Structure 1
Amino acid sequence: MFGDLQGMMGKLKETQQKIEETKKRLDTVFVEGSANQGKIKITVSANRVVKNIAIDSGLLEDKEELEDYLIIAMNDALKKANTINDAELAAAAKDGMPNIPGLDMFK
């Protein structure tokens, strides 16, 4: 019994390490959200950290319009980043989970 427990604990430790490695890798995966036919572009990492904002100078005249488009572009970028982040971390967790009865939710 304790051999199985040690094996499971080792497997859980490996899974945690895979998850941490995946998080580091996701810092280097970038997605772009845009609005107004690409006049505003926001680049974020898959870990949801804003890396760049590019704004067409023609949008600088109307503050409210600019704010609206920034929100649209930011939400677009974050949605894409969330999708990648969730899929990658779920895959890392699933691959490393030991076969523990009752924890089928990861399979």
Structure 2
Amino acid sequence: MFGDISGMMGKLKEAQQKVEETKVRLNSVLVDESSSDGKVKVTLTANRQIKTISIDDSLLSDTEELEDYLILTLNKAIEKATTINENEMAVAAKAGMPNIPGMDMFK
């Protein structure tokens, strides 16, 4: 009914390997973001791991303002990293998927 089952299983293993390789590669893809005035700068990997945070000294005296800056800047960086991550993972998953009738959700 589905044709060559062993061939499909091989394709699925290949897809899984591609996804794992992509995850590893995304650890080296860096996303930089900064506040509109440049007082806070963050760097994340495309897997959404924070690598660096740089804070201007002028923000150190006002905790509430610093928190606001961090939240806004980190959220923007996470959004960018998530977009990159999702796009790359979709490509990796699609590349190795076997052609199963009715399973065209990756197209």
Q: Tell me if both proteins adopt one fold, taking TM over 0.5 as the criterion.
A: yes
**Number of residue pairs the alignment of both structures matches:** 107
Quick check: which one's helix share is greater?
Answer: 1
Which deviations, in whole Å up to 9, do the C-alpha atoms of 1:43-97 show, x marking residues without a partner? 1000000000000111111110000000001001100100000000000001111
Post-superposition shift, 1:2?
A: 8.1
Q: Which residue of 2 aligns with 1:33?
A: 33
Q: Which residue of 2 aligns with 1:87?
A: 87
- Say if 1:34 and 1:73, in contact at 8 Å, map to a contact too: yes
- Please list, as runs of the form range in 1=range in 2, the aligned pairs for 1:1-107 lying within 5 A after superposition: 4-107=4-107
In structure 2, what is the Cα distance between the partners aligned to 1:2 and 1:64?
60
Post-superposition shift, 1:36?
A: 4.0
Root-mean-square deviation over aligned CA pairs: 1.3
TM-score under structure 2 length normalisation: 0.95
The DSSP-based 3-state class of the residue aligned with 2:4 is: helix
Structure 1: gaps of 5 or more residues: none
Identity %: 64
Post-superposition shift, 1:27?
A: 0.2
In structure 2, what is the Cα distance between the partners aligned to 1:91 and 1:68?
35
Structure 2: gaps of 5 or more residues: none
The DSSP-based 3-state class of the residue aligned with 1:48 is: coil
Distance 1:2 1:100, change over 3 A: closer
Post-superposition shift, 1:6?
A: 0.4
In structure 2, what is the Cα distance between the partners aligned to 1:10 and 1:3?
13
Distance 1:72 1:2, change over 3 A: closer
TM-score under structure 1 length normalisation: 0.95
